[in-house]
Structure 1
Amino acid sequence: MSSNNQTNAEQNNEHIIQVPIYTIPLTEEGEDCIFPTKYEDIIFLIKSRLQSFSPKELRNGKKEKKTVIEDIQYNEKKIGTIPCVLVRCTVSDSNLGDSTLEDETVIKISSKAKIKAENYYFLLYPLIDGPVSKRICSILMLVYDDPYHDSSNSCRISTTIIKKVLNLSPRNIKLESVIQEVIKAAVVPDLKITLYSMDGVTTPYAPKISQFQTKSSQFVRKSFEYQGVPKDSVTELLSDEDCGEFSVKEITVNIGKKQLKVRRDVSKGLNKMKTYVESLFNSTISIPDSEMPKLYEEDFIIEKLHPIINNFVSNGTIHD
C-alpha cells in the first residue's frame, strides 16, 4: 500500500488490514498425486494435522525475549461453496527485561510474566485445477494482518504453523510456474536482483594482533533494481543458474500485487545448486471506525477475505 493511500485512510478514520497471500503446493504438474485431490479431503488433511499442534517457539535472533505460539483454535468455514479453515493463534512474549506496564500506576513486568495476544488469524483455502487424472492441488494461506499486530510477527506465526505443524512449505513452487506468470505480462514493471557472498579473504590490511588470527571472512551484498523489463529478458534471467563469484542470487519480480521470488544458493562443499521459488501476493482491506469492534469476529473476517479470494480465483491475481 502506498504512503498516500495510508495517509488518506488515516484522514478518513479508516484502518488498514494487510493480507499477504502465500501459495502452498500439494501436487505439481507431471508428478503423481500423493495428497488428496478433493476439497473435503484437503480440509480433512489440514484439520487432522492441526490437531497435532504443540507449542512452538519463534526465533528472535540473539535477543533474550521469548515468543511462543501457545495455542491454536480452528474452525471450518465456507467461501461460497468451497470449504476452508480459519486458524486463530494465541501468542505470548516473555522475558521482557526492563519493560513496565503503565496506567494509573507503573507496574514492573517480571521476567516470568507473559504478555499474550489471542487473535492472530490466518485462513487456509484449498485450490484444485486440471482434469481428474492430472489434478494440481494447492492451499492459499491468507494472513489476516490486522492494525494492532506486528506484520512480521503475523507472517512468522502463520508460516511456522504451515512448516512445523502441517509439514508443508510455501517455497516449493516450480520455476516453470514463475516463468509462465512472467510470459503473461508484456513487461515486468519492477525487478530486483540481490547477490550475497561470504568467503574467506586475503587482504593486505590486518589488525596489529594478526599473529593471533585463525580466520578471515567478509560479507558482500550487491543489489540492482530495474523497471520496465521486457518479459523475454526476465525469463532468460530466471533460467540463468550462473551466480558468478557469489554464493546466493535472489531475483524478486513484482507484477501488480503479485511478488515472485527465485533464490539460488550454492552451498560450500556441494556441487549441487539449490533453487527456492516463492509466490506471494499482497492485498489490503480498509475498514472504518464503526467496524473496528468486529475486527476479530470470525464471520466478519470471512466476509472481508471473501472478495480477495474471488479475485484471485477468477483472475489468478489480486486486484483492489
Structure 2
Amino acid sequence: MTEGNFVDYVKVHVASGKGGQGSAHLRREKYVDKGGPDGGDGGRGGHVIVRGNKNLWTLVHYKFQKHFKAGHGEHGGKQRSTGAKGEDVYLEVPLGTVVRDTETNQVLFEITEDGEEKIVLEGGLGGRGNWHFKSSTNQTPRYAQPGLPGEEKQLTLELKVLADVGLVGFPNAGKSTLLSVMTSAKPKIADYEFTTLKPNLGIVKYRDFRSFVMADIPGIIEGAAEGKGLGHYFLRHIERNATLLFLIPADSADISREYEILLDELRRYNPELLHKKRLVAISKSDMLDEELIHEIRQELDKDLSGVPYLFISSVAQKGLQELKDKLWVLLNE
C-alpha cells in the first residue's frame, strides 16, 4: 500500500431513512361494501450501521465518498400489509476505528472485532395504519400516522492502528529500517527526518510458524504531546499497541536522556501509556566496540530502572533474533 493510500482520519455525513406513512385504506370488495379500516403500517426507515472488517487496513475508501444516506421506508398498504423497510447503509471500517460525533467530539463507540456492528443512526419509525385507531365509537377512522423523519449527523472516523508491538523513537532512529529487516513490509527509508509520515505495519515471523504484528510509527519530537511535529497524528496509534519498543541509535549524545524525553511525551499525551510493557533497543550498535558497549551498559543499568534493553543492528543483522525472543516473551507474559 502506498503512503498516500493510508488514510486514518476522515469526516463523513450520514443520514438515516424516514419511516413510511401508514395507510388509511378502507376495505372495499365486491360483496363487502363497508369492510372497515384495513390500512397497514409504514415500514421503518433504513439505519446507518458501522461494521468492523478485518480485511481493511485503512479508511481510504472514504477519501472521496463523504455522504451516505439510508433508504426510506415504504408506505403501508391495504389488507394490513406493512410497508417494506428502508435499505440500511453499512460503513465498513478497519478494526481499531473510533467513531466520534464531529459536532461535540464525543466518542460514540469503538470497533475492535470483525463483523461487530453498531447502529450509529436509527431510521424513523413507520406510521401506524388506520386499523390501529378503530374503536367502538369510531368504526371507520379515515386517518393514519405519518412516518417519523430520519436523522442526520456528521461523523469523524479515526483509525488507531492495532499492532502487537509499536516502534517508538525520534525521527531517523532506524525504525523503518528495522521494520523492513524483520518483516516483509517495504516502508520508505531515507537519511532525513520524518521519512515516515504514515504508520507502516509488518508481520514478524517467529518460531514454529508463530507471528506478531509490528507497527512503525512516525517519529516523536520533543513537544509532540502539545501537537508539535506530527504531534497527536501518530501518538494516538501508540494507544493500541500491546508492547512499546523504544528505538534509540547508538550514536545518540545521551541514550538515557533520549529515552526519558520519549517517555515524557507519552506521559503528557496519555499517562496510561506508561502501563504498557516496554523494551529498549539500542540501534546501529555495529558502530560500537566492546569497550563502548560495556560503558553504555553501566549507564543504562543505572538509568533505565529495570526496563530491559539490548543492542541491535538492522544493517549487520545483529541481535535481531534475541529481539524477537524478548518481544515474544513480553507479548505472552
Same fold, judged at TM 0.5 (above): no
**Max Rg structure:** 2
* TM norm structure 1: 0.24
Q: Which structure features the higher share of strand residues?
A: 1
* Larger RCO (alpha carbons 8 Å, 6+ apart): 1
